[in-house]
Amino acid sequence: MDQEASDALDIQAWNYINKRVLPYRKGTGGGADRNDAIIRRAAKISRELGMSIDDVAARPEEFKSNAMALSAVTKDMAAIRPFKVMLDANAAVLTKLAEKVIKTDITYANKPLNWVRKNITGDEDVAEFLAQMQIVQTEAARVLNNPRLVGQLTDSARHEMQSIINGDMALGQTKRIIERVRSDGTNRVEAMEREMEGLRRKLRGAGSAPDAGGAGGKPTPAPTAADIEWAKQSPKNKETFVKAFGREP
pLDDT of residue 28: 62
Q: Are 185 and 86 in a shared domain?
A: yes
**For residue 180, is pLDDT > 70?**
yes
CA angle at 73 for the pair 72 and 77, rounded to the nearest 5°: 125
Q: Are 102 and 153 in a shared domain?
A: yes
Domain count, the chain: 3
pLDDT of residue 128: 92
Q: Are 21 and 91 in a shared domain?
A: no
Domain membership flag for residue 64 = no
Q: Are 4 and 94 in a shared domain?
A: no
Q: Are 236 and 175 in a shared domain?
A: no
> Of the candidates 29, 58, 87, which is a domain's last residue?
58
Q: What percent of the chain has pLDDT over 70?
A: 77
> Of the candidates 189, 208, 236, which is a domain's last residue?
189
Q: Are 22 and 113 in a shared domain?
A: no
pLDDT of residue 89: 92
Domain membership flag for residue 208 = no
Domain membership flag for residue 67 = no
Domain membership flag for residue 199 = no
Q: Are 157 and 231 in a shared domain?
A: no
Average pLDDT over residues 50-58: 85
Domain membership flag for residue 205 = no
What does the mean pLDDT of the chain come to? 79
> Hey, what long-range contacts does 132-136 have (CB within 8 A, 24 or more apart)?
132/90, 132/93, 132/94, 132/97, 133/94, 133/165, 135/90, 135/94, 136/87, 136/90, 136/91, 136/94, 136/165, 136/178, 136/181
> Of the candidates 58, 86, 101, which is a domain's last residue?
58
| Residue 167 structural domain | 74-189
pLDDT in tens, 110-124: 888 888 888 888 888
Domain membership flag for residue 63 = no
Q: Are 153 and 105 in a shared domain?
A: yes
Domain membership flag for residue 197 = no
Q: Are 113 and 183 in a shared domain?
A: yes
Local confidence band at 221 (pLDDT 50, 70, 90 cut-offs)? low
CA proximity to 201, closest of 70, 60, 80, 58: 70
Q: Where are the alpha helices (DSSP H) in 21-150?
A: 31-48, 53-58, 61-104, 113-119, 124-145
Handedness of CA 98, 101, 105, 108 (dihedral sign): negative
Q: Which residue has the higher pLDDT, 3 or 210?
A: 3
pLDDT in tens, 182-209: 888 899 888 988 998 898 888 877 654 4
Q: Are 46 and 84 in a shared domain?
A: no
Lowest mean pLDDT among 8-17, 59-68, 123-132, 215-224: 215-224
Q: Are 172 and 228 in a shared domain?
A: no
Domain membership flag for residue 86 = yes
Local confidence band at 159 (pLDDT 50, 70, 90 cut-offs)? low
Q: Are 138 and 104 in a shared domain?
A: yes
Q: Which range, 87-91, 100-104, 229-233, is most confident?
A: 87-91
